[in-house]
A and B are shown apart, each in its own frame.
Chain A
Amino acid sequence: MYNEKVMDHFQNPRNVGEMNSPSGVGEVGNMKCGDIMKIYIKVKDDVIEDIKFLTFGCGAAIASSSVLTEMVKGKTLQEAEAITNQRVADELEGLPPAKLHCSNLAADALHNAIEDYKSRAASN
């Protein structure tokens, strides 16, 4: 049901783990639907220098988190903000239709992390 690229990211997730002293953290999902994604970013001079994720969820949730981290690393905040859930799915060369809405939330988690970074920066 999943293509090779999705299975590759599911089996060999990139940038997985917690981050010490991140610049921003974003979380989406809830336990009722069964997917909770957490994205950590480290920002320097408006560039996302490092990114990590932790995900509780199905194969699509793990793969979309993983591929997102690859898409984002080294990008400017502005570029990262333009990434949508659809673009994440496209990068994975497609997800089963049932997964597009429930498990494809990585971009939302990233946007929350950027939001968190900005509010932290504003209050400093």
Chain B
Amino acid sequence: MDKIYLDHGATTPMKEEVLEAMLPYLKGHFGNPSSIHAFGRESRKGLDEARRKVAASLGAQPEEIIFTSGGTESDNLAIQGAARALENKGRHIITSAIEHHAVLDTVMHLGKNGFDVTILPVDQYGMVDPQDLQKAITADTILVSIMTANNEIGTIQPIEELGRICRDKEVYFHTDAVQSIGHMHFQLQDQPIDMLSLSAHKFYGPKGVGALYIRKKTRLEQLVFGGGQERKLRPGTENLPGIVGLGRAIELACADIEGKKQKLIKLRDKLIDGLLEIDDVLLNGHPSQRLPGNVNVSALYVEGESLLLSLDIKGIAASSGSACTSGSLDPSHVLMAIGLDHQTAHGSLRLSLGESNTEEQVDYVVEVYKETVTRLRKMSSVFKK
């Protein structure tokens, strides 16, 4: 069987249509969008068109979209930018324990530099309790950042409710929606969201380009200084091929969300059901409030990296929250935040499905996973027969 890619949470392959859209800007249209001559105007057209596509896909206005280098930069601009703009109003920032490091580390950095930080806990499924947010907001709170859906366990937060609480208390609400684009419908002009981060390569677009939605009248200070591009919030000559690719990718991603979602959910649940039939395999994350393509399970008595390596040998690409693959000595902060013990966290495996996966692949993956877990358990020092 051909290689099976089940790591769409890490990145997705770029679509042919996206490449087609980008090619003219890699080859012919090289002009600087800031130039007033014909070359510049040609490029400006592509830039404006991409901005319109992003805005239309999210139910926002084009002037509310700022292009960046990706999710990490968008998160940094939203959080640091708002913190700096509002530091005379208040110095308290709220986030959750399961944020991506692009949010969590940015907030912690501000915490070391004169801001007060509250990190909201999550329940065993990775859900933030809106009441906890309600209680955490003080007169000093300026910003709340809670992700739309989690990258590791796929849990979808009640962002409308969380955003409403912030709106009522006149506190900015930012959400990292990097994993959510193409999986849920946004109509930002009607939603209580002030800022939203996204990244093209998570929805079949190119790497190195993202965007930040910034609701009109939201105060933000620039982090990088230079020219006047992107309303001065993100100076520097635009990554035009990337931006055009992002525009095309989001247009495709946001077409027929419901149809694609149902197809993915069917595959996801088939995969989950197959894996959970194996003894001592547990589901991490929420049973229903989860991203359509996200599966995260832990096999007890087995360590995640050895599981990943074994699956890779069999042609299956996945990821794990084990310490050995996180680049630190601790297992994933998300798995610890939902209360897993070390063994369960070390044995975690994330399989994130995408548009190209099939039912046959799911059957094969279940079979190989079962064989691999059985083999590794036989050599495990902690396996209890």
Residues of A within 8 A of B310 (CB): 11
Whether B342 lies near A56 (C-beta < 8 A) is no
Residues of A within 8 A of B324 (CB): 34, 57-58, 99, 102-103
B328's nearest neighbour on chain A, judged by CB, is A98
> From residue 40 to 93 of chain A, which have CB atoms closer than 8 A to chain B?
53-59, 61-62
> From residue 333 to 383 of chain B, which have CB atoms closer than 8 A to chain A?
341-343, 346, 378-383
B382's nearest neighbour on chain A, judged by CB, is A56
Known: A10-B306, A10-B309, A34-B303. A58 touches B322 (CB 8 A): yes
Known: A57-B303, A58-B322. A33 touches B329 (CB 8 A): yes
Please measure, in the bound complex, the distance between the C-alpha atom of A18 and the C-alpha atom of B305, giving whole angstroms.
23
Which of A36, A56, A102: most chain B CB closer than 10 A? A56
Please measure, in the bound complex, the distance between the C-alpha atom of A99 and the C-alpha atom of B379, giving whole angstroms.
20
Whether A37 lies near B381 (C-beta < 8 A) is yes
Please measure, in the bound complex, the distance between the C-alpha atom of A36 and the C-alpha atom of B381, giving whole angstroms.
7
Please measure, in the bound complex, the distance between the C-alpha atom of A53 and the C-alpha atom of B378, giving whole angstroms.
11
Whether A57 lies near B323 (C-beta < 8 A) is no
The contact of B306 among A16, A33, A54, A58, by CB within 8 Å, is: A58
Residues of B within 8 A of A11 (CB): 310, 313
* Whole-angstrom distance between the Cβ of A58 and the nearest chain B Cβ: 4
A13 at the interface (CB under 8 A from B): yes
Give the bracket for the number of chain A residues in contact with chain B: 20 to 34
* Whole-angstrom distance between the Cβ of A21 and the nearest chain B Cβ: 18
Residues of B within 8 A of A27 (CB): 381
B302 at the interface (CB under 8 A from A): yes
B302-333 CB contact bits vs A (8 Å, 1 = yes)?
Answer: 11111001100100000000111001010100
* Whole-angstrom distance between the Cβ of A105 and the nearest chain B Cβ: 12
B322's nearest neighbour on chain A, judged by CB, is A34
Known: A31-B342, A58-B324, A62-B306. A13 touches B379 (CB 8 A): yes
Residues of A within 8 A of B379 (CB): 13, 16-17, 53-55, 62
B278-294 CB contact bits vs A (8 Å, 1 = yes)?
Answer: 00000000000000000
Q: B: which residues have CB within 8 A of A?
A: 301-306, 309-310, 313, 322-324, 327, 329, 331, 341-343, 346, 378-383
Q: A: which residues have CB within 8 A of B?
A: 2, 7, 10-11, 13, 16-17, 27, 31-38, 53-59, 61-62, 98-99, 102-103
Q: What are 23 A-B pairs with beta-carbon distances under 8 A?
A: A10-B306, A16-B378, A17-B378, A17-B379, A27-B381, A31-B346, A34-B322, A34-B342, A35-B303, A36-B381, A38-B381, A56-B301, A56-B302, A56-B303, A56-B381, A58-B303, A58-B305, A58-B322, A59-B309, A99-B324, A102-B323, A102-B324, A102-B329
